[in-house]
Structures are given as C-alpha cells and as structure tokens.
Structure 1
Amino acid sequence: MTNLDNNKSITVQVTGASGSCALLNNAAFEQVREPGKFLIRRALIERVG
C-alpha cells in the first residue's frame, strides 16, 4: 500500500477484503500516515507475489 499524499509505502498481508476500505494495524498505519492525520484518502493498493 502506498499513501499517495506522501509516497510512503508498506507491504502487509491482507487477511480480508472490506469493499473500498483497507484496515491497517496501528504499526502499519504509523509507517504510512501523515503526521496529524488519522485517515488516508488517496492510497494505491497493489497485489504482490
């Protein structure tokens, strides 16, 4: 997943799909979020492997 607002990315294992939402655990979210923001609106989610 890449946060398109700051170009930070992380690779995580998807355990379930939820429509147009992707839920990240706290550790993963902290890696890609922008300081002071608690929602990522523009994200690129790619399948790898």
Structure 2
Amino acid sequence: MKAGEMLKETEAGISEIAFLSGFGSISQFNRVFKAATGRSPRKFR
C-alpha cells in the first residue's frame, strides 16, 4: 500500500498523504485505510 509506505517512511502529515493518495477528505482516507489495514493511519505510523 503506497499510503502505508508513505506513513512509515516520510514525515508527511496524514492529510497530505490522504490528498496525495487521491482521497477528497481525510475522513474518507481514514475509513478506507482502517478497513484495509485494521488500524488507523496514526496507529499504523
């Protein structure tokens, strides 16, 4: 998952990663990310 790699390997903010990943909102990114990984982006990082 590209977003997961960005969370672990960069200091970019979660909102920046969400928009770079093509999501229109942070909440949408959080929902999809948690459904895919079982963790929120913050806990994944």
Query: TM-score, with normalisation over the residues of structure 1?
Result: 0.29
Structure ranking higher in strand proportion:
1
Task: Name the structure, 1 or 2, with higher relative contact order (CA <8 Å, separation 6+).
Answer: 1
- Asked which structure has the greater CA Rg, the reply is 1
